[in-house]
Amino acid sequence: LRELLKTTRDGEFDHFKSFKHLIIINYYGMNYANFSGILSQGLRIAPPKASPVTGYMFGKVAICFVYDEFFEKH
């Protein structure tokens, strides 16, 4: 590990404080443009032109969780 970054947006922690017990750390390989977009605008609903084949695995929202563990247990 060479660097560890932490960033927050004004008011975001207070907004999600009641959901703190549901937060799961999620890291996956992505390009810099996607990462900077998530940091500046947060996770967003998939646009209408998103591919149903690749973009809607869990519906039309961005959901981050470790799904392979979920499927192993259910």
Cα gap 27→4, rounded to integer Å:
12
Residues catalogued as catalytic: 60
Query: For the whole model, what pTM was predicted?
Result: 0.28
Give yes or no for residue 23 having a pLDDT over 50. Answer: yes
Q: If you write DSSP's letter for every residue of 6-74 in order, what string do you get?
A: ----TTHHHHHGGGGGG---------HHHHHHHHHH-S-PPPTTS-HHHH-BTBSS---S-HHHHHHH-
The type of residue at 69 is E
Which tens digit of pLDDT belongs to each residue from 25-57? 555 555 666 667 777 777 776 666 666 555 555
